[in-house]
Structure 1
């Protein structure tokens, strides 16, 4: 079968290409998925250049997402022909991922695709969509069911889907981006206002600023998250899921003890399967967006290498959908 394979040439030197590899054999409580679609995520791009925090096992097939049809099953929970998806866990990290024609995984990682989503649609969301939906779900479950929401890194996969879902749910959405030429794009997704990254005063060292936002969905971390916390209204909520700006957070306790705000971390990798199923069902229903095609670039295996370069150089917009 065909697969997008990353190989280690020597220390800190890697190469990637499409190769013919063997179709894997499944063991007890495993399934073999005939892949239909996958996607690209920042973590995939890091894996493709040998980032040791993501992948240590080489040769390696990237792809932390996959949707498809069960080809073989050694599990009582799945039969041949079931339409399924896998996101998270070790898929695409040190276990060969979704950028291959057949994918072997433990059955406990697998979810049946909700009836009103296709294999293509669900991979249009992928891990980025799951992360965005988890973030919005946390806002709702913590009492932020309306109001003004700030989204950082808004042209990225998580950010762009978050903007779209929030708009559908009738929040007032303020989007931050470093790409001036994408202001109109964000407004077509539903942003009410766009702030350019250089205009967001992250160098301001005041411990608190005027209350402006009911909630924040942060996808970049670092000083952008730290500055956002100072702008949240009393009893507001911030979620964080990314670190493209920085993994460090230099902040103070005033927003937490004087305004009672909450900062909630979002993990889409190791959460319980039951919670993943709940959020995918929300994506299939109340969170389902009609403008998803506006933020998707469709590619195949041969386009992955260039797409990774775009992601790592911050040139990518929205989502990459990979047809296998």
Structure 2
């Protein structure tokens, strides 16, 4: 049997992505075959789809770093046909064929049963970005959120959007950082009580300590902005760092860590233990307001993906792009 997929193939100039019919016999090895219903578009997907090939290890390749769907066949007792499942991480879409196909075959250990309260479309409206946001929020909780506003940088992006909605649903005051004034209404609709212009935090660190302004931070930017924010944290507050859009270098001083006991928490969504993944997905199902989730969704199809891959690399994508693969 054949199915539709976005296949990236090696060319003399780099790589080329196109929608093709693929025979099921070409699926990689795995314990569970899933009829994929939805996937999403993330920054890594843009790198994989692009002409340079980005993170792709071997060709031909199917990108898509997450997916949700229905188990079609299983060699593992934990899953049976008809079960709804979600997958994020484990280098799917990079080293292993991913979610931009109507079928996927993966290791059973990579899957999580979809919790009650979420359907497959909603799970991908959350996606890897929202899952990462939940991991960041849980890390802040585990280290003790302080009383002040919680800052979210890169707030209009996938991680930031869900982080704003989650924190607001928890009853926290959220300050959302964006470089685009036209995003203010969108972020306020998600629950942000304050909009912080990106330029207010764009300067490199001049003083290692500034006024204590933030009771915690979900940082999806990194680089100089994160360094600036560290000097504005309340005593004992934590910043959960999830992205490198602003660069991998951190031009920070050690003083916020020594004199204010600030915690810098690194969040990696790829190799999370099963218990952490289940906890995060159940918290999302219990906490995230579905009406706010819907406000983030931008629908897409397989045919839209080459352009969307370029758009996300250029910062032109807002919210959560959900790719419908059921057709």
Q: Which moved more, 1:286-295 or 1:216-225?
A: 286-295
Quick check: 2:31–2:108 contact (8 Å CA) kept in 1? yes
CA contact (8 A) 2:164 2:174 kept: yes
Match of 1:15? 16
Partners of 1:99 and 1:123 lie apart in 2 by 12
CA 1:151–1:51 in structure 2 vs 1: closer, same or farther (change >3 Å)?
farther
Name the residue aligned to 2:141: 140
How far off is 1:290 after superposition? 3.0
Q: Which runs of 5+ in 1 are unaligned?
A: none
| Aligned-pair CA distance for 1:189 | 1.0
C-alpha separation in 1, matches of 2:19 and 2:210: 51
Change (3 A) 1:27 1:239: closer
Root-mean-square deviation (CA, aligned residues, Å) is 1.6
Identify the residue that residue 243 of structure 1 maps to in structure 2. 244
Matched, 1:75 2:76: yes
Q: Distance in 1 between matches of 2:10 and 2:157?
A: 28
Please give the TM-score of this superposition, normalised by the length of structure 1: 0.96
Structure 2: state its 5+ residue gaps.
none
1:250 counterpart SS class: coil
Aligned residue number for residue 5 of structure 1: 7
Between 292-301 and 196-205, the greater mean CA deviation after superposition: 196-205
Task: Determine if contact 1:222/1:246 at 8 Å carries over to the other structure.
Answer: yes
> Could you tell me how far apart the structure 1 residues matched to 2:200 and 2:117 are?
41
Partner deviation per Cα, 1:212-238 (whole Å, 9 max, x = no partner): 001111001100111010100100000
Q: How many Å apart are 1:306 and its aligned residue?
A: 1.5
* CA distance in structure 2 between the partners assigned to 1:240 and 1:93 by the alignment: 22
| 3-state SS, counterpart of residue 252 of structure 2 | coil
TM-score (norm 2): 0.95
| C-alpha contact 1:146 1:170 (8 A) present in aligned 2 | no
CA contact (8 A) 1:36 1:323 kept: yes
SS of the equivalent of 1:138 reads helix
Matched-pair contact (CA < 8 Å) for 1:150–1:213: yes
CA contact (8 A) 1:233 1:259 kept: yes
- Matches of 1:97 and 1:190 in 2, distance apart? 32
Contact 1:50 1:56 in 2 (8 A): no
Number of equivalenced pairs: 323
Question: In the TM superposition, what whole-angstrom CA distance separates every residue of 1:46-75 from its partner, at most 9, and x where no partner exists?
Answer: 111266762121111110111111111111
The answer to whether the 8 A contact 2:28-2:105 is kept is: no
Deviations 1:116-168 (A, max 9, x none): 11011111101011000111111111111653111100110000110111111
Matched, 1:110 2:111: yes
* Counterpart contact for 2:70–2:84, Cα < 8 Å: yes
CA contact (8 A) 2:227 2:250 kept: yes
Deviations, residues 191-211 of structure 1 (Å, cap 9, x unaligned): 111112123242341111111
Q: Cα distance 1:51–1:238, how it changes in 2: closer, same or farther (>3 A)?
A: farther
